[in-house]
Amino acid sequence: MTKTRVFTGVGTALITPFTETGAVDYDRFGPLIDWQIEEGVDALVIAGTSGEGSTLSDQEHKDVVEYAAKRVDGRVPVIAGTGSNDTAYGLQLTRGCVERGADAVLVVTPYYNKCTQDGLVKLYYEYADTAGAPVILYNVPSRTGVNITPETYVRLAEHENIVAVKEASGNISQITDLMARTNGQLDLYSGNDDQIVPLLSVGGIGVISVLSNLLPRQTHDMVMAYLNGDTQEATRMQLYYNDLIRSLFCEVNPIPVKAAMSYMGFCENAVRSPLYPMEGANAERLRESMRNVGIELR
């Protein structure tokens, strides 16, 4: 079975800039999209976790995807973050984002009212049958309380529209097992920036990245170094940026990355409740980590 490949390399899990009053800041969003593409990213994920999709209204969610798709204008794939603990709403949101220009969708496992492994198969088949675009599975059990097992991945890989997985379980043994079992039928993207090179080593083709909000060119270069055979350079880069990556996750994402992008002048340091802006020791730790890798702060 030949499946659609959404991208190879780096897909930035892009922040959604807000004004000081909490509205989507399209005046900042457009130039940020352009800069990311100019710096070499291979795809953009809009309204995902880093884009605060869970606190965007239904209309805002679709509007930011539509705006991004028009601004990108075919330069790179646009992937919309969708999925919900309410399947009817998740399907409606998924179809709406595709109608507004998304090239693919990133569908998180249902959270809070958790389902079984059989339920995951039925759920994702429903998304894949109705999305009208390639589906990337999103496994992040630390947030959702649901883990996709390797056995379930095998069943999901049988659907022609389920093309890839963003793996953020952190369980490299499990990820190795899923890659062995699915035998090339699912593309693998790391969902953790501290595991980019480890997951490339078991057959991954890229990362859906928080780090690349700040360092799109460098994150792209790390992946491509590995894929082009320079594993030593890729490993060097992975280790060089380790402290910054740790700082970007010293509080729940996207609090630190939104702060970091504000320090670089790309947005206000504004997140939506229940998140609140980073302050104090963690903020200083983040700024120091950024300075240490040569990022100029404003």
List, by residue number, the catalytic residues: 138, 166
**Beta pairing partners, 44:** 12, 78
Q: Does 254 sit behind a cis peptide bond, omega within 30 degrees of 0 on the bond before it?
A: yes
SS3 call for 58: helix
Taking the C-alpha atoms of residue 147 and residue 120, their distance in angstroms, rounded to an integer, is 10
Task: Give ∠ CA 84-148-134 in degrees, rounded to 5.
Answer: 60
Write out the two tokens for 264: 């670089």
Distance CA 178, CA 168 (A): 13
Please identify which residue in the block is written with the tokens 């995902």.
48
For residue 220, give Cα distances in angstroms to 159, 214, 265. Answer: 29, 12, 22
- Residue entry with tokens 């807000």: 18
Of all helices (H) and strands (E), which one includes residue 108? strand 104-108
The residue ranges of DSSP E strands in 179-247, in sequence order, are 187-190, 206-209
* CA distance linking residue 171 with residue 13, whole number of Å: 21
Distance CA 101, CA 74 (A): 10
